[in-house]
Amino acid sequence: MNSPLICHFLIGPPGSGKSTLATQMSQHIPNSRVISTDRIRERLYGDESIQGDWAEVERVVLKEIQEAIAQQQPVIYDATNAKRVWRMSLLQKVADLKAQWIAWHLKTPRQFCQNWNMQRGRQVPPEVLNQLFQSLKNFPPLAAEGFVGVYELNPAQSNDLIVEVKSKINQLSRSITNRANRTQHSQVTLHPYSGLLDFDRLLHLISLLVHYPGIGNLQKTNPDLLKQLLGDETQFQTDLSEICAVMQRLYGGIYADPNAIAADLEWLDENNFLNPSPSNQELTIAEVLAIDSATHAYSDTEPFKRLLTTIRFIIQHPFQWDSEQGSLGSLVSMMQKQGLVDGDQTDAIRKDIERILKPFRILPDFALKRGYFIGTGILSAPQLAKVFHVLQAQAKNLQDPIALGIFEVFDERMRQSQLSTQSIYPVRAICNRTIVDSQLLPQSALAKNIEKLEDEIELGQVLELKRFSGVGRYSDNQDDFFRVCPLQIVFHNIGWYLGFEIIEGKDKGLLQFERLDRLFRGYPQLNKCDRRDQQKSLHRLQCLYQACGGLYLGRSASEQRQFLSKTPATRDAVCMTVELWFNDSAFRFVSEGTQRFPISQMKMSPKLSGNPTSQQLAPIFTLAKSLDPAHPNRFQIKLPRWSLDDIDLRRWILGFGDQVKVIEPPELVEKISGIGRAISDLYK
């Protein structure tokens, strides 16, 4: 049986000496045939400098390769071949031909190439030369691309390259045997990405997800970017087809297999790459018995697992940095602490960064001296800037210690990741502010350590609380310690409040809000709230808050349960209808506030503006006018009876002065009129 024909694949930037070597090889390899893309372009277009249509050039290349191999002529393929996708694409198309390909990588120094390029009749622009150099540096030829051998040659250091070429050809049979033996008897555990094509496609896909957040839906969310990437306004039926189109455009058709990319996305999702929540879950990597190509540096499961675990960790834990350890040391140290790598993997991860994360543009191309980060996380750069300003407003105006801490980190990382916020005008601000200076509070106040309180809420930790003596309170608030299930931290008008459920004593089951600066912890508690019960209590708390229009939820757990009942009669037993009459001036303001209370609880006289009312709001403005000419505009709201004691409700009514008249219920009439008389008496 005849051995396969040996063919030759020259690789190197312009000016590296490929054509010279091709000529020399043709003189020493019997019956060989040089196939040069430059010569083909000269025949097709009359000038080798005219790039023309690559598809047309490639058709001629493939035709000539097929003819040469059919005639048992060793092919010497003379082209730049600087990009891996070019090499692998061509090798795929000639894979059925009975030939073995040797890669000859001409590693001519850049300066030599630049000098020789200047002396050629057809000069390649310097920027193109540099790009091709970088491409070969990032993705050097590998046997795993489909070569039986890859050999490096340096024309600048050798007076006779042909001697080296002949020597390598003579050693080829032994090299192939040795490689087969190493693969057969090695301890390599193969996986679905042990083949170079599959491995590169996965890394290119991660790079796409990093650089183009929302890819798959860009035709809706960012059509201008999609047009910029593809060059036209293509419409896609599925998110997968959009991803494949961008993959083909940016990295090549060999990586744009829809079925393969769908499987890749599923694997990334299963292993928490697409989930912003941090995960230390071990990667799920299937074992494969064999592959039909040579292995690459990450064909073994162990280095592949380390590489992908590192990528996921940086995505979920950006900017791990300690001044004494530096970026790499800090990253490895933190991964060790979380049990993600065994032993000292510093050198291995450094090589992962140099060989993979930088070339595939998963990491930024500038120096990362204060920790690693990947892309912009789940947000695009413009979205990050907008979130930055919203967070800035909350941190500064609401004096939110959590937001302030996050804002400081956010501000630093925005600058470190070279995402400028200086040119963005702050179009929004939050003008509410807390009335309490947290710096003057006792250290034991809940407001002094909201981070801890957040963790306790998340864990469902039962808390023992007490109010500071001398603070503002309702007359029936208890003075003793009380145990609660914490539900939520809320900012309301003037400060931060804790929503909670009392879990024992006479007030068991009572849902309340209390300002954080008024509370402090008692003894640590061992008990925890059941998560499902905690979520149900939170839902009830939010329903009461929405229905009351404020934070005062009464002082009776049984009344709260009645109000939340799905039976109308049970609910109505603890409700009252408040009716207010306004003059025209005040009613113009009141009628604008259609979200002050739930729509289902509120009714008013028709608006005075005469403008059409939306169908959604029309049921509100159905009350007939009053007979009072001074206060003709009616307002009704159905509220829990405990709202009679709600200071916010009274404050809202009293704020209108003589522009409002309380009509119902009698108890509220008496309260408001009594307050009015008391104020009047003060000034007599």
When mean pLDDT is compared across 168-177, 401-410, 668-677, the lowest value belongs to 401-410
pLDDT at 276: 59
Domain ranges of the chain: 5-185, 196-357, 438-562, 574-682
The listed range with the strongest mean pLDDT (167-171, 176-180, 477-481, 559-563) is: 559-563
Q: Using an 8 Å Cβ cutoff, are 586 and 660 in contact? A: yes
Q: Using an 8 Å Cβ cutoff, are 364 and 382 in contact? A: no
Diameter of the chain measured on Cα atoms = 122
How many Cα atoms sit within 13 Å of 262 on the Cβ side? Answer: 7
Higher pLDDT pick, 447 / 590: 590
First to last CA, the chain: 122
pLDDT at 58: 94
617 phi and psi angles, rounded to 5 deg: -95, -10
When mean pLDDT is compared across 226-230, 425-429, 585-589, the lowest value belongs to 425-429
pLDDT at 350: 93
CA angle 98, 100, 101 (to 5 degrees): 135
> What ranges make up the beta strands (E) of 413-521?
463-467, 482-492, 495-502, 511-515, 519-521
- The average pLDDT across 286-309 equals 93
Q: Is residue 380 over pLDDT 50?
A: no
Predicted structure pTM score = 0.61
- Structure tokens belonging to residue 385: 């800037």
CATH code given to domain 5-185: 3.40.50.300
pLDDT at 378: 41
pLDDT at 502: 95
When mean pLDDT is compared across 82-86, 264-268, 388-392, 550-554, the lowest value belongs to 388-392
pLDDT at 381: 46
User: Rounded to an integer, what distance in angstroms lies between the CA atom of residue 241 and that of residue 235?
Assistant: 9
pLDDT at 90: 97
- The average pLDDT across 173-183 equals 68
CATH architecture of 574-682: 2-Layer Sandwich (3.30)
Confidence band (pLDDT; 50, 70, 90) for 408?
Answer: low
Query: Bridge-partner residues for 10, per DSSP?
Result: 78, 104
Report CA torsion sign: 353, 357, 360, 364: negative
Closest among 3, 77, 89, 93 to 40, alpha carbons compared:
77
Q: Using an 8 Å Cβ cutoff, are 608 and 592 in contact? A: no
Q: Using an 8 Å Cβ cutoff, are 620 and 603 in contact? A: yes
pLDDT at 67: 96
Q: Is residue 124 over pLDDT 60?
A: yes
pLDDT at 368: 73
User: Rounded to an integer, what distance in angstroms lies between the CA atom of residue 507 and that of residue 502?
Assistant: 6
pLDDT at 76: 97
Q: Is residue 81 over pLDDT 70?
A: yes
| Distances, alpha carbon 364 to alpha carbons 368, 372, 375, 394, 416, in Å | 8, 9, 7, 30, 11
pLDDT at 277: 63
In this predicted model, what pLDDT tens digit does every residue of 286-297 receive, in sequence order?
Answer: 999 999 888 999
User: Rounded to an integer, what distance in angstroms lies between the CA atom of residue 375 and that of residue 182?
Assistant: 39
Q: What is the DSSP letter of 83?
A: S
In this predicted model, what pLDDT tens digit does every residue of 50-74 receive, in sequence order?
Answer: 888 889 999 999 999 999 999 999 9
Q: Using an 8 Å Cβ cutoff, are 611 and 590 in contact? A: no
User: Rounded to an integer, what distance in angstroms lies between the CA atom of residue 163 and that of residue 149?
Assistant: 17
**Pairing assessment for the beta strands 519-521 and 463-467 based on DSSP bridges:** antiparallel
> What ranges make up the beta strands (E) of 139-266?
149-153
When mean pLDDT is compared across 353-367, 389-403, 479-493, the lowest value belongs to 389-403
Query: Directed axis angle between helix 110-119 and helix 126-138, to 10°?
Result: 150
In this predicted model, what pLDDT tens digit does every residue of 483-504 receive, in sequence order?
Answer: 999 999 888 877 888 999 999 9
When mean pLDDT is compared across 130-139, 245-254, 594-603, the lowest value belongs to 594-603
The listed range with the strongest mean pLDDT (191-200, 404-413, 502-511) is: 191-200
User: Rounded to an integer, what distance in angstroms lies between the CA atom of residue 298 and that of residue 210?
Assistant: 21
Confidence band (pLDDT; 50, 70, 90) for 376?
Answer: low
pLDDT at 233: 85
Q: Is residue 263 over pLDDT 70?
A: yes
pLDDT at 494: 78
Cis peptide before 401 (omega within 30 of 0): no
Centroid of chain to Cα 137: 30
- Structure tokens belonging to residue 473: 């309170």
